[in-house]
Amino acid sequence: MMDWWLWPIALFAVTFAIGIVAVLAGVGGGVLFVPIVGALFPFHLDFVRAAGLLLALTGALSAAPALLRAGLASLRLAMPLALIGSITSIVGALVGLALPTDAVQIALGATILAIAALMWRSPARGSEAPAGDALGAALRMNGIYHDAALGRDVEWRVRRTPAAFVVFAGIGLLAGMFGLGAGWANVPAFNLLMGAPLKLAVGSSGLLLSVVDTSAAWVYLNRGAVLPLIVAPSIIGVMLGAKVGARLLLKARPGLVRRIVIALLLISGTRALLKGFGI
Amino acid sequence: MSDEHDIYARWLAWGTYIALAVLIASFLAYAFALRDPHLPPQELVKLWAFPVDHYIVASGAPTGWGWLALLHKSDYLIFSAVAMLGLVTVVCYARLVPLLLAQGERWRALIAVLQVLVLLGAALY
């Protein structure tokens, strides 16, 4: 049997690598952490999901101030949807902790494979403002942000707001149930469904994540699923890895990194599915 | 940048910095056995492969806010950092409410109040 102190060191090394790859691929650390650590380490999935949520939360909390200051995240866009997502993420966390482990493994595996498929396709819209809808206007989900690359202010408003509430309710449920964070789903929902500009969608996704993951994290904390020996090295590893990843971002080939992440998700998603079926 | 973004960003940044500093310091105290833990790491490795309910029964670990009574133990000192991470958004939203009311944005102020209640509900459940 391995000495206990080797586990946090191994966890730190793996999460450091996850932090680098996550930044290069433009995904949150949680979506890689849960399936990979769940497959490689002996921890029960309850503890892995709690740690996944906390590291996604920490990453989102750390990034949000800079995104807000740069005008790339909008409280107007995130607040109404974060409210519904944070309610359903509590439900998701409670359901995830109540279901048998095999059922959660199967659902996790299927979700990870679906995320890999979503990342494979992932079209992105441009930044032109669509015609807004009444609910979005009533909630003042509109504004202007400065796009430094375009060198001009971009006006934005949102459409299909009622449908977005339903979609973000589903995203919150999955985030709470699997501890995945939810950047992989927030960005397409903001950008493709609601018509928010892509840069604003990416920035506001982190802001929304910081709220949605907070409510689910409390459920895991209150149920006793937070193990310091797993949580602390994982958070420190991902945060330091993300800093290195940000430095490598200028030199990396995004297409190659994206393909590596999709391959990792396919392998770890399949592994979770097989574990769930007892294979 | 609007006032609400500026203030929210400032409060969020400070709250997160403090929580991360406490997390790192308390983890070092735990890893290097500077204070006694409630459950030694050698015992924890025997339990972490089991579901959380089994772990709670076998280890005598507290649920809910029971960890507050164990803050003198190094493993539960780390929980104070985790709780700070969970409370920083609550504080930031609470700070937004008077700002939004002053701007006449009553709907968004209501959303902020509801969000605070949801997060506190999750924390106290």
Beta carbons of B107 and A101 less than 8 Å apart: no
Closest CA to A205 of A191, A219, A220, A193: A191
Beta carbons of B78 and A231 less than 8 Å apart: yes
CB A137 within 8 Å of CB A80: no
Q: CA of A259 to nearest chain B CA: how many angstroms apart?
A: 32
Beta carbons of A229 and B50 less than 8 Å apart: no
Q: Which pTM was predicted?
A: 0.90
Instruction: Assign A180 a pLDDT band (cuts: 50, 70, 90).
Output: confident
Q: CA of A42 to nearest chain B CA: how many angstroms apart?
A: 6
Alpha-carbon gap, residue B86 to A162, rounded angstroms: 28
**Residue A250 scores a pLDDT above 90:** no
Percentage of chain B modeled with pLDDT above 90: 86
Alpha-carbon gap, residue A68 to B10, rounded angstroms: 10
| Structure letter (DSSP) for residue B64 | G
ipTM of the complex: 0.94
Alpha-carbon gap, residue A271 to A39, rounded angstroms: 7
What's the confidence (pLDDT) of residue B84? 96
CB B77 within 8 Å of CB B69: no
- A9 C-beta neighbours (distance < 10 Å), count: 13
What's the confidence (pLDDT) of residue A260? 80
Alpha-carbon gap, residue A69 to A56, rounded angstroms: 20
**Residue A274 scores a pLDDT above 90:** no
Alpha-carbon gap, residue A181 to A178, rounded angstroms: 8
Helix axes A29-40, A254-276, angle to 10 degrees: 50
What's the confidence (pLDDT) of residue B47? 95
Residue A277 tokens read as 């079926």
C-alpha angle B23-B25-B27 in degrees, rounded to nearest 5: 65
Alpha-carbon gap, residue A49 to B118, rounded angstroms: 21
pLDDT digits (tens, 9 = 90+) for B55-107: 999 999 999 999 999 999 989 999 999 999 999 999 999 999 999 999 999 99
